[in-house]
Amino acid sequence: MEYLTEIWQILLVVLLLMLGYGFGRLAERRHYRTILRREEALGDLIVVCSKTLPEAAGAPATRLVMGSVVVSVDYFKRFVAHLRMLFGGRVHTYESLVDRARREALLRMQAEAKALGATMIFNTRFETSSISKGQDKSVGSVEVLAYGTAVIP
């Protein structure tokens, strides 16, 4: 009787892994596709980190713009990351997660600036935080905020 529950538990983990792998990859691929498409569409909006405007810019109007996103990990990513923690090294599954979150936040900021009619964004900054740090059995996710100053000529 006891080994039956054990088998059931193992099956559950395998099922969750398969779900995470399947849907997680699907979501990631779909997300990357929209990111690439929108990056192309917003490519003419220049985003820089420098604090000073070029002199040619004159005296344009400026506005603070920001974009943020919360992206969740999936079961498979977390599993792989836990395995990685035994041996150390790069955690590819999380790298793609934060990359996606950061680009998405940047795109949302750019979209806000574009709606204002801006041509450039200056002094752009990123802030990353994890929503549930150190909490067991809680939702694992990463939040990225991108903010900067939109220059409206």
Partner 1 sequence: MITSTLEIVPGRTITQHLGIVQGSTVRAKNIGRDIAASLKNIVGGELKGYSELLGESRREAFERMVQQAEAKGANAVLNVRFTTSSVAQGASEILAYGSAVVVE
List interacting residues with partner 1 (CB under 8 A): 16, 19-20, 23-24, 27-28, 31, 51-53, 57-60, 62-64, 66, 68-75, 77, 104, 122-125, 127, 129, 131-135, 138-141, 143, 145, 147-149, 151
Provide the edge-to-edge strand list for the sheet that holds 141-152: 46-47, 120-130, 141-152
Residue closer to partner 1, measured from CB, 4 or 59: 59
Asked if 147 contacts 116 with a C-beta cutoff of 8 angstroms, the reply is no
The nearest distance, CB 21 to partner 1, in angstroms, is 10
CB-nearer residue toward partner 1: 3 or 8: 8
Enter the tokens of residue 29: 């691929």
27-31 long-range contacts, CB within 8 A, separation 24+: 27/74, 28/96, 28/100, 31/100, 31/104
Pairing between β-strand 141-152 and β-strand 120-130 as defined by DSSP bridges: antiparallel
Whichever of 4 and 63 has its CB closer to partner 1, that residue is: 63
Least distance in Å: CB of 105 to partner 1? Answer: 10
Residue 41 vs 60, nearer CB to partner 1 = 60
Gyration radius of the chain's alpha carbons? 20
Q: What's CA 15's distance to the chain center, in Å?
A: 26
What is the smallest separation between the CB atom of 27 and partner 1, expressed in angstroms? 4
Minimal distance in Å, beta carbon 89 to partner 1? 22
